[in-house]
């Protein structure tokens, strides 16, 4: 890398010099010298998110240590947000926290996923959210001490999944000092410590805060580029935000498959099956005997006896990282249940599923 040209400056250079040159130089930034650096020699690429988190839902003990004082305090005078939203731009390496109800808007620098073999950041793009349960301190970690490089600062986990179905991605501290703004992480969004604490404090009490990660530069309602220290024109509360082409429009409605939250039958079966209904526990399901349908990108399903009606079977999801071990399915917890065979030829079986405890 040329002397005096850091990762942050390279990101700024991307439109002033040929993109091929910038990508070649940024490849040097991807080799993160921090303790978090993990390289998959077999596949020749960086691990996705934090492998340490895979399948772990036994926090807070694994992520907090009572004998260590918190290294930060919440600053005074932070505004109270009504409906926070976050947009992350991989092209601009920015985290934009805003609230269209109150007019709040602040843009922070970030370090995102290293460049993979495709030449693109390994941070996943798409429409995600924070957890629907703000009391779950595995999702909203106030003091993360393990691994040690998190230094007791917050970890704000989001619903983005790695290829094995685990929610390993989130917003956390810089790892390096100072923050390396560029393509440097395992897929998470690294932030300056003071910036992270601000975002954490303003978002942590809001369930299912929308988080969009897009490849493109974010544009505001006036069509101007959103960046650190720029004046942002917010979209109106009822406007449809023009997200980047890599993610397209956001539709927060669930698909209506087994396990999706619901309040009425209209929330279920949006992909064309009228047999779906909204279970009284608050999730979509359908009656079954022996077997249930599966769907790509969802946890596999299992047919159990419906506790609300004797002699009836209902479909539920198996415990899986994609449902955060049932935390994302209303009214359920991990329990062992026998298969409801009914009149089918399915063999007896017992599985750990997401059902009423």
Same domain, 64 and 163: yes
**Mean pLDDT (the chain, rounded):** 84
Give yes or no for residue 296 having a pLDDT over 70: yes
Residues of the chain with pLDDT > 90: what percent? 60
Label residue 264 exposed, middle or buried (CB < 10 Å: 0-12, 13-18, 19+). Answer: exposed
Same domain, 32 and 170: yes
Query: Could you give the CA distance from residue 339 to residue 319 in angstroms, rounded to a whole number?
Result: 15
Tell me: the pLDDT tens digits for 208-257?
899 999 999 999 999 999 999 999 999 999 899 999 999 999 877 777 89
Residue 70's pLDDT is what? 93
Tell me: the pLDDT tens digits for 336-354?
999 999 999 999 999 999 9
Same domain, 183 and 286: no
Same domain, 122 and 43: yes
Residue 321's pLDDT is what? 82
Mode of pairing for the β-strands spanning 301-305 and 333-338? unpaired
CA pseudo-torsion sign 272, 274, 276, 280: positive
Tell me: the pLDDT tens digits for 269-287?
876 678 999 999 999 999 9
Domain count, the chain: 2
Same domain, 205 and 285: no
Say if 240 falls within a structural domain: no
Tell me: the pLDDT tens digits for 53-85?
876 665 566 677 777 889 999 999 999 999 999
Give yes or no for residue 132 having a pLDDT over 50: yes
Residue 52's pLDDT is what? 77
Residue 24's pLDDT is what? 41
Same domain, 41 and 168: yes
As a whole number, mean pLDDT of residues 161-173 equals 88
Same domain, 277 and 160: no
As a whole number, mean pLDDT of residues 169-177 equals 95
Residue 324's pLDDT is what? 81
Same domain, 144 and 72: yes
**What is the secondary structure of 310-350 as a DSSP string?**
TT-EEEEEBS-GGGTTTTTSTT-EEEEEEB--TTS-PPP-E
Residue 218 zone, left/alpha/beta (φ > 0; ψ -120 to 50; rest): beta
What CATH number does residue 208 fall under? 2.40.440.10
Same domain, 209 and 269: no
Same domain, 191 and 285: no
Note down the domain range covering 204. 7-214
Query: Could you give the CA distance from residue 129 to residue 162 in angstroms, rounded to a whole number?
Result: 15
Residue 3's pLDDT is what? 35
Give yes or no for residue 110 having a pLDDT over 70: yes
């Amino acid at each position: 890398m040329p002397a005096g040209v850091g990762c942050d400056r390279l990101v700024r250079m991307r439109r002033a010099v040929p993109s091929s040159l910038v990508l070649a130089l940024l490849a040097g930034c991807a080799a993160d010298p921090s303790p978090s650096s993990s390289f998959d020699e077999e596949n020749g690429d960086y691990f996705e998110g934090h492998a340490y988190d895979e399948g772990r839902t036994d926090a807070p003990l694994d992520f907090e240590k009572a004998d260590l004082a918190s290294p930060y305090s919440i600053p005074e005078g932070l505004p109270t947000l009504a409906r926070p939203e976050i947009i992350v731009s991989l092209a601009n390496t920015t985290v934009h926290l805003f609230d269209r109800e109150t007019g709040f808007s602040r843009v922070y620098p970030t370090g995102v996923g290293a460049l993979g073999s495709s030449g693109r950041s390994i941070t996943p793009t798409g429409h995600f959210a924070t957890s629907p349960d703000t009391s779950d301190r595995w999702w909203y970690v106030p003091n993360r001490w393990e691994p040690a490089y998190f230094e007791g600062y917050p970890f704000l986990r989001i619903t983005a999944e790695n290829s094995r179905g685990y929610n390993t991605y989130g917003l956390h501290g810089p790892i390096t000092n100072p923050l390396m703004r560029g393509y440097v992480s395992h897929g998470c969004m690294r932030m300056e410590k003071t910036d992270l604490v601000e975002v954490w404090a303003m978002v942590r009490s809001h369930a299912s805060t929308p988080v969009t990660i897009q490849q493109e530069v974010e544009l505001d309602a006036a069509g101007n580029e959103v960046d650190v220290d720029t004046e942002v024109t917010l979209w109106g509360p009822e406007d449809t935000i023009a997200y980047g082409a890599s993610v397209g429009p956001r539709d927060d409605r669930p698909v209506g498959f087994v396990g999706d939250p619901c309040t009425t039958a209209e929330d279920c079966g949006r992909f064309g099956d009228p047999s779906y209904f909204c279970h009284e526990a608050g999730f979509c399901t359908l009656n079954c005997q022996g077997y249930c349908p599966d769907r790509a990108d969802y946890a596999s399903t299992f047919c159990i006896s419906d506790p609300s009606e004797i002699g009836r079977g209902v479909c539920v999801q198996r415990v899986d990282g994609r449902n955060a071990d049932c935390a994302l399915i209303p009214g359920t917890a991990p329990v062992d249940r026998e298969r409801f065979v009914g009149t089918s030829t399915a063999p007896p079986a017992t599985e750990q599923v997401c059902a009423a405890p």
